[in-house]
Chain A
Amino acid sequence: MLAQAATIPALVTPTGRDLLGLLPELILGAAFVLLMALDAFLPSTRRSWLAVVAFISLAAAFGASMWGWFDSGSGRTLYFGAFAYDRYSMFVNAILLVSSALVVIISPQYLNRRGIHHGEYYALILASTTGMMILAGAMNLMVIFLGIELLSISLYVLSGFSRGDERSQEAALKYLLLGGFASGFLLYGMALVYGETGHTQLAQIGLALRAAQTSSVDPLVLVGVILVFIGFAFKVSAVPFHTWTPDVYQGAPTSVTTFMSVTTKVAAFAALVRVFTYTFPYVYTHWQVIVSLVAILSMLVGNIAALTQTSLKRMLAYSGIAQAGYILIGVAVDPRVALGTIGVLYYLAAYAVTNIGAFAVITVMAGRGEDLDSYSGLRGLAFRRPYVAAAMGLFLLSLGGFPPTAGFFGKFFVFAAAIKTGLTPLAIWGIVTSAVSVFYYLRVALLMYQRPAEDEREYAWSRTSLSAGIVLAATTAGTLVLGIFVFLLYNAASAAQSGLLPAIASSSG
């Protein structure tokens, strides 16, 4: 396939196999156009139909991805090496699609209550998901950029979706400006990498770096690699590129926050692993220090800043920064060790299911026309909504990494990978900061089980609707299943890792 890519014919037309391999992305793309058309012609009272259409298309794309999982086998490339058709991208697709579907289920009720139920919402969610799936499969620097822009632009619009709300507007603007910066960094880094290696295809960049390994590596390549990393670090909100996160998470409508806090991270990490662990393994010693440093800072700053928050959304934003730090441990380990990538995949799945659950609880909290997410709003939840409170407690424990929940095994695998490759100090640091994080997670968990004070405002909890119930039940079950029946997802993650393209360096056990 590399030979194919080296001699690109004058006119490139995709084959049927190429199109078939892109089926999940194509389904969502078509659904996006369909939704825009439907939105133009449906009366505004029938907006929930759009959610149904969006859900069906997500389910169809999920089915296509599952078919791709079995069909791709040991993996191959599409579009002359520009796109990966391997189990890794299908695994990531599955996380993304399930997350998006859960978000689509909770959205109508929440948007109606906030009074911002516009039809473009679902189209934008689908567009963003398409961008993420493209990012997860990208094997070419330009395709990576394409994916990142598609997902980001949709998210800029979505985070400002509450048009009358200044906070939401501020969030959109901040995200747009800093996102633009990030794209700039990424593109500049890509330009340098391209300039030095002469390729945009990941496979050939990897080969060029391997060839250069014998002589000294050009410092400009390293600058390019670092700049690309910075671009990704913005997207996964790792310190010191995290400053937009709390404001954007808080300002954006909660269902949007749910969506982007999970899926952006999943997609960006998927691409990060493919680019760094599998394309740049021969300059590993150079970027490992930077990645480790960013991981250490993220764990520190995220957890310390989360301690003092009084808004649930901000707390979860800082917690997300810290979680990015833990996942980065899995990226920082020696590329030859498969456990690092498996750990990242497991962590991402665990984080997705847990975080969606936690944010879903906040959407249930939303009042008419406004978001209420202060800690005091949670007080006494357990007495009025015992099941919602129990679910929220479980999610917080999972974020804190307690067994037997999904979050524990996410941490377990990345720490194990770090200890295996001699990065024990990194694991110890993760452990110390985890102990700190327990403090703020449990503080919130405890509030739900305390009775509200006499003079405190009675909080108007809306009835837990069927849709919210479905999402909470699914995420609760997911959190527990990933925490107890670990082998199910571990085997899948292991299979996803073993077929990961581009296979420049042979990785082992």
Chain B
Amino acid sequence: MNVPWLTLVIVIPVGMAILLQLVPRSQTALIKALMVGATATVAVIVFALLYNMAGSPAGGGPLSLHYQERHDWIPAIGASYHLGLDGLSGWLLALNAGVFLLGALAVSRRATDRLRFYATLLLLTEAATGGVLLSADLLLFYLFWEGMLIPLYFLLSNFGDENRGRNTLKFVIYTVAGSLLMLASIIWLYFNAHLGTGETSSFDLAFLINHPSASQAALVIPGVKISTFTPQQLVFIGFALAFAIKIPIVPFHTWLPGLYESSPPFVLVFFAGIVSKLGAYGFIRYGLTLFPQPIGYFKWVLAALAVLSIIYGALMALSERDIKRIVAYASISHLGFIALGIFSLTQNGVNGAIIQIINHGIIIAALFLIVGMIEARTGTRELHELSGLEKRMPWLYFLFLVATLAGLGMPGMNSFVGEFTIMLGAFQLNWIYAVLAGGGVILACWYMLRLHQGLMHDPIKPVLERVRDIRLGEALLLSPLVALMVFLGVYPRPVGDLANPSVAQYVSIATGANPNPSSSAPSAGTPQAPQ
């Protein structure tokens, strides 16, 4: 039977979101059950797809997609509804399904009077992020990429503390500005694709990879040449801004700390867990393949910004007193690692980045949940007001310890594998980057241990004497995450094995190592003089 499984991954959440509108708002138990049911169903489908992926036939071309679904959408301009899954998007889709299931399970009781609203938005966000990962057509990709902001906007601006409105608006303006420039870039790529005779242009990703633009015209405002970059480089900047803002890379990060601070943990598990990863995904999937020359040209700058993110995030995490902001800045630092891996443009670096994307999604979700549990019990997030929770919350202490060790990159934990591989890639790029990033790892030990010790050790403050340990349900929520941290630390092969072929393909396109049919991308090994 020919079931459109990929479409189901998008349609099931949307369908359930519509269905939920028929359920009375007071039926919170039913609403939660339906929400969890829908996300769990998606998770099952995604994992079944991943499990069978190695055995399923892959399409040819520069992407080698599995389970492709393709229908005409706007045939007149060559836009199609084209979905597909490869090793990269496969794992991200798994992460996507996981964090949304977590978000559905983690929703707190305080939100129950608006549970239906929350459930609707969560499901719509899941559909949009799933669409971003699945689409293999640039216009479709953009549709999901930008459409994702709608449910996110309502989620972030309706759930959280009193500053959420301002912070959300900042985030949305940032990302809209970035993604609209990407839209202009997509249109440019479409119109400037180097066509053979009888060919019409298309928004299909594989098509555009195989038909890179040959245009050398500089951007001019009638008569005035306003830039020395080639158009390809400018167009790449359009994409890079959108992705860099989403990740975020310093200096485009200013929306993140405030927004993470004002958002509740049950939103953050999937907001921090998957949305920021989509920026990294975009760089790998679109940056490496569509812009081999420009990304080679800019990789030094981009890698430097990534290293800056690592150091800056770490230093800010050290100087913060608010535990949620510490985790937020730690997140910036970790995302810097992911970016560094990508911009090393090496097999190792990108591999490490993918592993780290998964790891970071797991770790950050766990950390935000833990912070949320502590805040809910003590009523404060100030580090100096908290101490000695170890005695009152032994279970949380244990789970938090594992998460901390994972967060600081302890060998045997999952992020060690990722960071180590990224460092290998960074070395191949330039040893200075690797050394500086290594400094970031040391700082990570410092701020993670400061956080953990500050919260857990030392004599307990009198006001905290009545704090209770986490409930069974909360422990059950955290334990799979913690188990995964250990499991992926000891046995990271499943991620690597599936992603490796895709990564090899992307990196070879980016570096021009692969004599790709009809792609005459110049070698990107060395920076070239501006034309």
B150 touches A449 (CB 8 A): no
Residues of chain A within 8 A of B410, CB atoms compared = none
B76 touches A490 (CB 8 A): yes
A428 within 8 A of B: yes
Residues 422-465 of A, flagged 1 when their CB comes within 8 A of B and 0 if not, give 00110110011011001100110110011000000000000000
Q: Provided the pairs A402-B150, A487-B75 are in contact, do residues A442 and B169 lie with their beta carbons within 8 angstroms?
A: yes
B219 within 8 A of A: yes
From residue A175, how far is it (CB to closest CB) to chain B in Å?
34
B165 touches A403 (CB 8 A): no
| A438 and chain B: residue at smallest CB distance | B176
B157 within 8 A of A: yes
Residues 66-106 of B, flagged 1 when their CB comes within 8 A of A and 0 if not, give 00000011111101000000000000000000000000000
A328 within 8 A of B: no
Residues 142-186 of B, flagged 1 when their CB comes within 8 A of A and 0 if not, give 111011011001100110000001001100110011001101100
* Interface members, chain B 186-218 (any A CB < 8 Å): 187-188, 190-191
Residues of chain A within 8 A of B191, CB atoms compared = 416, 419-420
Residues of chain B within 8 A of A420, CB atoms compared = 187, 191
The docked-state distance in angstroms from the alpha carbon of A445 to that of B154 is 9
From residue A496, how far is it (CB to closest CB) to chain B in Å?
13
A415 touches B183 (CB 8 A): yes
The docked-state distance in angstroms from the alpha carbon of A435 to that of B150 is 14
* Interface members, chain A 478-509 (any B CB < 8 Å): 486-487, 490-491, 494
The docked-state distance in angstroms from the alpha carbon of A446 to that of B160 is 14
Residues of chain A within 8 A of B153, CB atoms compared = 442, 445-446
Residues of chain B within 8 A of A449, CB atoms compared = 154, 157-158
Q: Provided the pairs A402-B147, A439-B173 are in contact, do residues A424 and B188 lie with their beta carbons within 8 angstroms?
A: yes
Which of B150, B168, B184 is in CB contact (< 8 Å) with A415? B184
A404 within 8 A of B: yes
A397 touches B72 (CB 8 A): no
Residues of chain A within 8 A of B221, CB atoms compared = 425
Residues of chain A within 8 A of B75, CB atoms compared = 487
The docked-state distance in angstroms from the alpha carbon of A491 to that of B76 is 8
The docked-state distance in angstroms from the alpha carbon of A420 to that of B191 is 6
Residues of chain B within 8 A of A434, CB atoms compared = 176, 180
Residues of chain A within 8 A of B165, CB atoms compared = 446, 450
A404 touches B143 (CB 8 A): yes
Which of B117, B143, B172, B190 is in CB contact (< 8 Å) with A403? B143
A287 within 8 A of B: no
Residues of chain A within 8 A of B173, CB atoms compared = 435, 438-439
Residues of chain B within 8 A of A439, CB atoms compared = 169, 173
A280 within 8 A of B: no
Residues of A in contact, count (CB < 8 Å): 34
Q: Provided the pairs A402-B150, A442-B172, A487-B75 are in contact, do residues A435 and B143 lie with their beta carbons within 8 angstroms?
A: no
B187 touches A443 (CB 8 A): no
Which of A438, A443, A487 is in CB contact (< 8 Å) with B76? A487
Q: Provided the pairs A403-B146, A415-B184, A435-B180 are in contact, do residues A486 and B73 lie with their beta carbons within 8 angstroms?
A: yes
| B157 and chain A: residue at smallest CB distance | A446
B: interface residue count bin = 35 or more
| B221 and chain A: residue at smallest CB distance | A425
The docked-state distance in angstroms from the alpha carbon of A487 to that of B173 is 29
B73 touches A431 (CB 8 A): no
A397 touches B187 (CB 8 A): no
B74 touches A490 (CB 8 A): yes
| B75 and chain A: residue at smallest CB distance | A487
| B189 and chain A: residue at smallest CB distance | A419
Residues of chain B within 8 A of A446, CB atoms compared = 153, 157, 165, 168-169
A122 within 8 A of B: no
Q: Is the interface of A mostly helix, strand, loop or mixed?
A: helix
The docked-state distance in angstroms from the alpha carbon of A439 to that of B153 is 12
Residues 253-268 of B, flagged 1 when their CB comes within 8 A of A and 0 if not, give 0000000000000000
Residues of chain B within 8 A of A416, CB atoms compared = 77, 187, 190-191
Residues of chain B within 8 A of A404, CB atoms compared = 143, 147
A408 within 8 A of B: yes
Residues of chain B within 8 A of A486, CB atoms compared = 73-74, 79
Residues of chain B within 8 A of A412, CB atoms compared = 183, 187
| B178 and chain A: residue at smallest CB distance | A435
The docked-state distance in angstroms from the alpha carbon of A442 to that of B143 is 18
A424 touches B219 (CB 8 A): yes
Q: Provided the pairs A446-B165, A494-B76 are in contact, do residues A403 and B147 lie with their beta carbons within 8 angstroms?
A: yes
A419 touches B188 (CB 8 A): yes
| A426 and chain B: residue at smallest CB distance | B221
Which of A397, A425, A431, A450 is in CB contact (< 8 Å) with B150? A397
| A427 and chain B: residue at smallest CB distance | B184
From residue B82, how far is it (CB to closest CB) to chain A in Å?
15
The docked-state distance in angstroms from the alpha carbon of A498 to that of B340 is 51
The docked-state distance in angstroms from the alpha carbon of A275 to that of B39 is 54
The docked-state distance in angstroms from the alpha carbon of A419 to that of B215 is 14
Residues of chain B within 8 A of A490, CB atoms compared = 74, 76-77
| B139 and chain A: residue at smallest CB distance | A412
From residue B227, how far is it (CB to closest CB) to chain A in Å?
11
| A447 and chain B: residue at smallest CB distance | B165
* Interface members, chain B 38-76 (any A CB < 8 Å): 72-76
* Interface members, chain A 87-141 (any B CB < 8 Å): none
The docked-state distance in angstroms from the alpha carbon of A419 to that of B154 is 32
From residue B17, how far is it (CB to closest CB) to chain A in Å?
11
* Interface members, chain A 248-267 (any B CB < 8 Å): none
B181 touches A431 (CB 8 A): yes
From residue A81, how far is it (CB to closest CB) to chain B in Å?
31
Q: Which of A403, A408, A431: most chain B Cβ within 10 A?
A: A403
* Interface members, chain B 462-484 (any A CB < 8 Å): none
A443 touches B143 (CB 8 A): no
Residues of chain B within 8 A of A450, CB atoms compared = 165
The docked-state distance in angstroms from the alpha carbon of A487 to that of B172 is 29
Residues of chain A within 8 A of B72, CB atoms compared = 487
Residues of chain A within 8 A of B150, CB atoms compared = 397, 402
Q: Provided the pairs A402-B149, A432-B177 are in contact, do residues A424 and B184 lie with their beta carbons within 8 angstroms?
A: yes
Residues of chain B within 8 A of A442, CB atoms compared = 153, 169, 172
Residues of chain B within 8 A of A415, CB atoms compared = 183-184, 187
| B154 and chain A: residue at smallest CB distance | A449
The docked-state distance in angstroms from the alpha carbon of A330 to that of B255 is 34
* Interface members, chain B 457-512 (any A CB < 8 Å): none
From residue A286, how far is it (CB to closest CB) to chain B in Å?
14
| A423 and chain B: residue at smallest CB distance | B222
A402 touches B146 (CB 8 A): yes
Q: Which of B144, B173, B176, B191: most chain A Cβ within 10 A?
A: B176
The docked-state distance in angstroms from the alpha carbon of A380 to that of B475 is 37
Residues of chain B within 8 A of A443, CB atoms compared = 169
Residues of chain B within 8 A of A427, CB atoms compared = 184, 187
The docked-state distance in angstroms from the alpha carbon of A428 to that of B234 is 12
| A437 and chain B: residue at smallest CB distance | B176
The docked-state distance in angstroms from the alpha carbon of A490 to that of B79 is 12
Q: Which of A427, A442, A450: most chain B Cβ within 10 A?
A: A442
Residues of chain B within 8 A of A425, CB atoms compared = 219, 221
Residues of chain B within 8 A of A408, CB atoms compared = 143, 146
B176 touches A435 (CB 8 A): yes
From residue A91, how far is it (CB to closest CB) to chain B in Å?
16
* Interface members, chain A 398-422 (any B CB < 8 Å): 401-404, 408, 412, 415-416, 419-420
From residue A253, how far is it (CB to closest CB) to chain B in Å?
32
From residue A446, how far is it (CB to closest CB) to chain B in Å?
5
The docked-state distance in angstroms from the alpha carbon of A428 to that of B226 is 14
The docked-state distance in angstroms from the alpha carbon of A112 to that of B15 is 39
In the complex, 20 of the A-B residue pairs with CB atoms within 8 angstroms, ordered by the A residue number, are A393-B154, A397-B150, A402-B147, A402-B149, A403-B143, A403-B147, A404-B147, A412-B187, A415-B187, A416-B191, A420-B191, A427-B184, A442-B153, A442-B169, A446-B153, A446-B157, A449-B157, A450-B165, A486-B73, A490-B74
Sample of 4 more A-B contacts, CB < 8 Å, known A408-B143, A435-B173: A416-B77, A431-B183, A434-B180, A449-B157
Q: Which 4 A-B pairs have the closest CB atoms?
A: A435-B177, A431-B180, A403-B143, A419-B187
